[in-house]
């Protein structure tokens, strides 16, 4: 493999793939190698169209703006492609390939710029048709650690001082301005709450269950209370109690959080589908494995009455047709659960 210093313009198009959740100097090295490798560069921005959390604090547009500021004068050569999380590696790779091909047009020589850092870099192997160009990583640079400094410090000024050697000056300036927004304080509060959860619950996996109830082409959702995912839409659900089965837990959480309590036999007769969601990155809180159940109660004269309780601040029936337009408002991977069980993402968003 080549290193950044030996890259020459030998491709029609270069592709760089990442989440860029706090763009740093190691990322800048990749962008510069891509610009050296081809006249046009596609920057794929992963984890797009989702709600903010500890691992994904910045929207894809904010990340795009930070990247553009790092590369003055190069905007005309850059094309940004936002790609959502599917927690399905094959589906994600197809989405990336399809969107890059739209940008590529008739380009024959496509170079994939990257470096193998750890297991999280294995996605590079999913694009065998693109010529791989290796770039040596910058030692000691890790976006997760940088986010911990930025969102975990009580002194924002000191945090930015610590981060300065690892970031482009434009990124430092962006983060300084961004820290004045209310969103920054919310992310800091959530980061501390998640850290406390992870410190208390240290087992590799915890079991949870979620209930997806469909009536009159509406689904029953809650808005979360608490510090983690506050105000985001979610399916009724929670952790499985000792001695409880997944299905029992899903029905119990449905009753406790929404007040909707049909007979267990009614729900069991309405059970149409179920799926396990166990991706290691589905929740910043840790290794939470959830079994989600879809109950379809068909058509009724009116939607059943519901009332939020327990740790939910609102319970509401939402038309299935409205769900795709709610991207960015769902808790953790609950949009993926809805996509798997009722279908949300029929069309892949195009390049930005």
Is 120 in the same domain as 214? no
Is 178 in the same domain as 210? no
Q: Supply the pLDDT for residue 349.
A: 63
Of all residues in the chain, the percent with pLDDT exceeding 70 is 94
The radius of gyration computed from the CA coordinates of the chain, to the nearest angstrom, equals: 22
51 within a domain of the structure (yes/no): yes
Q: Supply the pLDDT for residue 4.
A: 41
194 within a domain of the structure (yes/no): no
Residue 294: CB atoms within 10 Å: 22
pLDDT beyond 80 at 181: yes
193 within a domain of the structure (yes/no): no
Q: Supply the pLDDT for residue 346.
A: 73
* First-residue to last-residue Cα distance in the chain: 31
Q: Supply the pLDDT for residue 115.
A: 82
Tell me which residue of 94, 127, 123, 126 sits closest to 110, measured CA to CA. 127
Is 119 in the same domain as 218? no
Q: DSSP for 201-230?
A: --SS-EEEEEEEEEETTEEEEEEE-SSTTT
Domain region containing 273? 206-341
Q: How confident is the model at residue 350 (pLDDT cuts 50, 70, 90)?
A: low
Is 157 in the same domain as 218? no
Q: What is the pTM of this model?
A: 0.91
Is 159 in the same domain as 80? yes
346 within a domain of the structure (yes/no): no
Half-sphere exposure of 20 (CA within 13 A, CB side): 32
Q: How confident is the model at residue 351 (pLDDT cuts 50, 70, 90)?
A: low
Is 25 in the same domain as 153? yes
Q: Supply the pLDDT for residue 314.
A: 97
Residue 199 neighbours by CB under 8 Å, 6+ apart: none
Q: Supply the pLDDT for residue 76.
A: 97
Q: Supply the pLDDT for residue 6.
A: 43
* Beta pairing partners, 275: 292
- Taking the C-alpha atoms of residue 28 and residue 180, their distance in angstroms, rounded to an integer, is 25
Number of separate domains in the chain: 2
Torsion, Cα 147 148 151 153, to 10 degrees, reads: -140
Tell me which residue of 195, 152, 150, 197 sits closest to 176, measured CA to CA. 150
Per-residue pLDDT of 296-334, as tens digits, reads 999 999 999 999 998 899 999 999 999 999 999 999 999
Is 217 in the same domain as 169? no
CA distance readout (Å), 343 to 89, 185, 299, 319, 335: 18, 34, 19, 13, 9
Is 110 in the same domain as 70? yes
């Amino acid at each position: 493999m080549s290193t950044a210093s030996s890259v020459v313009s030998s491709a029609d198009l270069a592709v760089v793939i990442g989440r860029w959740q706090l763009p740093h100097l190691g990322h800048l090295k990749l962008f510069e190698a891509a610009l050296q490798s081809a006249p046009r560069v596609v920057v794929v921005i992963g984890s797009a169209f989702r709600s903010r959390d500890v691992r994904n604090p910045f929207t894809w547009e904010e990340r795009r703006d930070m990247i553009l500021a790092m590369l003055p004068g190069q905007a005309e050569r850059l094309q940004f492609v936002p790609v959502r999380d599917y927690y399905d590696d094959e589906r994600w790779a197809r989405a990336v390939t399809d969107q890059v091909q739209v940008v590529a047009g008739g380009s024959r020589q496509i170079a994939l710029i990257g470096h193998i850092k750890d297991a999280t870099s294995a996605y590079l192997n999913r694009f065998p048709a693109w010529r791989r160009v290796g770039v040596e990583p910058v030692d000691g640079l890790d976006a997760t650690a940088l986010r911990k400094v930025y969102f975990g410090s009580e002194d924002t000024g000191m945090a930015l001082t610590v981060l300065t050697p690892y970031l482009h000056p434009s990124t430092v300036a962006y983060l300084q301005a961004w820290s004045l927004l209310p969103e920054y304080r919310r992310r800091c509060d959530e980061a501390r709450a998640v850290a406390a959860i992870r410190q208390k619950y240290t087992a590799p996996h915890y079991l949870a269950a979620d209930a997806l109830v469909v009536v009159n082409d509406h689904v029953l959702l809650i808005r979360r209370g608490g510090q983690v995912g506050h105000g985001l839409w979610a399916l009724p659900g929670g952790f499985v109690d000792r001695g409880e089965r997944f299905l029992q837990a899903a029905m119990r959480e449905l009753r406790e959080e929404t007040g909707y309590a049909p007979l267990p036999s009614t729900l069991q007769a309405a059970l149409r589908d179920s799926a396990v969601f166990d991706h290691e990155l589905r929740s910043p809180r840790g290794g939470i494995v959830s079994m989600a159940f879809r109950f379809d109660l068909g058509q009724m004269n009116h939607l059943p009455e519901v009332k939020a309780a327990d740790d939910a601040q609102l319970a509401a029936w939402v038309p299935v047709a409205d769900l795709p337009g709610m991207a960015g408002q769902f808790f953790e991977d609950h949009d993926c659960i809805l996509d798997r069980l009722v279908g949300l993402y029929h069309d892949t968003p195009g390049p930005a």
